Amino acid sequence: MPAYVLLTRLNAEALRQIAEDPKVLVGVRQTLEDYEANILADYHVLGKFNHCTIFEISDNFRAQKATLHQELTSAKDTMLLPAIDYELFQRMLKQEIRTEGPHEWQILWWAKLARFCFRWYQFSRWMWRYCKPFTVTGLEHFSDIKGPCIVVGNHTSHFDALALFHGLPQRIKWNIYFGAAADRWFLKDGGGRKEIALQPWYNSLIGGNFPIKRGGGSKTLDYSKWLLDQGANLAIFPEGTRSTSKKMSRFKHGVALLAIEKKVPVVPIYLAGLSKLRPKGSREVFPGPASAHIQPPIILPDDVSVPDATRLIYDALNAPHTRVMEHGDDAGRWNWREPLS
């Protein structure tokens, strides 16, 4: 996820308030978190600027909005600087960032069989170890889906793909492929990393993943379209990255474009409880309850616009999300009704 450095020069009123109550500085952090930023570090600095905040956020649009809001409130002046991880910067200078894939052989029978044999190792063992219990509701919504479909889910945890896959019917699992960031999972020769799970061929074969280039334009969807033409199912997280706030992030338009052009249904699955198992930024996993609530499929009208289609898909996941935030994980069920008081 993109990282930024925000330098802030506070106005006189803000400085006076801070002198009276240093907790006012939390307002800068709160503003950024409202725009779903993940705060990495906060510093008070000496010089032209008073404050330095280092944060991650899903895209430039959100970063600029958060900065603008700060300028219109307590900040006299701000400077927003995009930041690049040093090792990544070194590879860019050496032109070492090359990706592999997609690998069309991943849909062949022998690849599917290999993926099935490794299913316990790749997916199930983690679910059995940490998701206690794991509840799936709404499986009946797949009964009327005969052809390919696009499965979408909310994104808050490293466990999301595991849980999404684990909650699907067997006939969907057999032929489903996950979109994954090319610059992380499909670096040529693993980007110099030795772990087998980071090798492009492994992610294509065992993980059932295919590369998506961030900011790659319309051609990014070409392989997704090809997969749908072959009768394959797709699994995509439309937020593009894991959300760090209580709100779902803005959806990218890719799912809507695919569903409209290929005339395939979109099946939303609301994942609950997973952000507590392994919070973003944590390496430790905390066992606990989790659930996958399958919502009714979305059949997009022929004349729908891409923004409207994206909004329909977003609303289908945001509705259970809103209920869960107020009533708990069980409220993610598609047919949940608020108890009568």
Residue 337 within any structural domain of the chain: no
* C-alpha distances out from residue 224 to 16, 149, 208, 239, 254, Å: 55, 11, 13, 17, 10
Residue 95 within any structural domain of the chain: no
What stretches of 21-166 show up as alpha helix (H) in DSSP? 26-34, 60-71, 86-93, 109-117, 119, 125-130, 160-166
Q: Do residues 108 and 63 both lie within one domain?
A: no
Pairwise CA distance, residues 198 & 41, whole Å: 28
* C-alpha distances out from residue 116 to 19, 164, 196, Å: 62, 16, 18
> Using an 8 Å Cβ cutoff, are 150 and 299 in contact?
no
Which domain CATH number covers 13? 3.30.70.260
Q: Do residues 73 and 217 both lie within one domain?
A: no
> Using an 8 Å Cβ cutoff, are 139 and 223 in contact?
no
Q: Do residues 72 and 121 both lie within one domain?
A: no
Beta-strand pair 209-212/233-236: unpaired
Residue 93 within any structural domain of the chain: no
> Using an 8 Å Cβ cutoff, are 178 and 208 in contact?
yes
Number of separate domains in the chain? 2
Q: Which of 329, 209, 310 is nearest to 271 (CA)?
A: 329
Q: Do residues 54 and 108 both lie within one domain?
A: no
pLDDT digits (tens), the chain, 341 positions: 678 888 888 777 777 777 777 766 666 677 777 777 778 888 888 888 888 888 887 666 566 666 656 554 556 677 888 887 777 676 655 555 678 889 999 999 999 999 999 999 999 999 999 998 999 999 999 999 999 999 999 988 888 899 999 999 999 999 999 998 887 788 887 666 667 877 899 999 999 999 988 665 667 899 999 999 999 999 999 887 655 557 788 888 899 999 999 999 999 999 998 888 876 666 778 899 999 999 999 999 989 999 999 999 999 999 999 999 999 999 999 999 888 76
- In terms of Cβ atoms closer than 10 Å to its own Cβ (0-12, 13-18, 19+), residue 4 is buried
Residue 263 within any structural domain of the chain: yes
Give helix 222-229 / helix 254-262 axis angle, nearest 10°: 40
pLDDT single digits (tens) 300-327: 998 999 999 999 999 999 999 999 999 9
Pairwise CA distance, residues 256 & 264, whole Å: 10
Residues 6+ positions from 262 with CB-CB distance below 8 Å: 148, 225, 228, 229
Kindly report each contact of residues 278-283 with a partner whose C-beta sits within 8 Å and lies 24 or more positions away, as own/partner.
278/157, 278/158, 278/159, 279/157, 280/38, 280/156, 280/157, 280/242, 280/244, 281/38
Q: How many residues does the chain have?
A: 341
Residue 90 within any structural domain of the chain: no
Which domain CATH number covers 294? 3.40.1130.10
**Look-up: residue for tokens 């299913």?**
119
Q: Do residues 140 and 20 both lie within one domain?
A: no
Q: Do residues 24 and 59 both lie within one domain?
A: yes
Q: Do residues 265 and 151 both lie within one domain?
A: yes
Helices then strands, counting H and E runs in the chain, come out as 15, 11
Residue 183 within any structural domain of the chain: yes
Q: Do residues 122 and 61 both lie within one domain?
A: no
pLDDT single digits (tens) 127-172: 999 998 999 999 999 999 999 999 999 988 888 899 999 999 999 9
Radius of gyration for the alpha carbons in the chain, expressed in angstroms and rounded: 22
**pTM summary value:** 0.73
Residue 88 within any structural domain of the chain: no
- The residue from 83, 118, 140 where one domain ends is 83
* C-alpha distances out from residue 94 to 200, 249, 303, Å: 20, 34, 47
Q: Do residues 192 and 48 both lie within one domain?
A: no
Q: Do residues 181 and 43 both lie within one domain?
A: no
Q: Do residues 310 and 218 both lie within one domain?
A: yes
Q: Do residues 226 and 293 both lie within one domain?
A: yes
Boundaries of domain holding 128: 104-332
Residue 340 within any structural domain of the chain: no
- In terms of Cβ atoms closer than 10 Å to its own Cβ (0-12, 13-18, 19+), residue 275 is buried
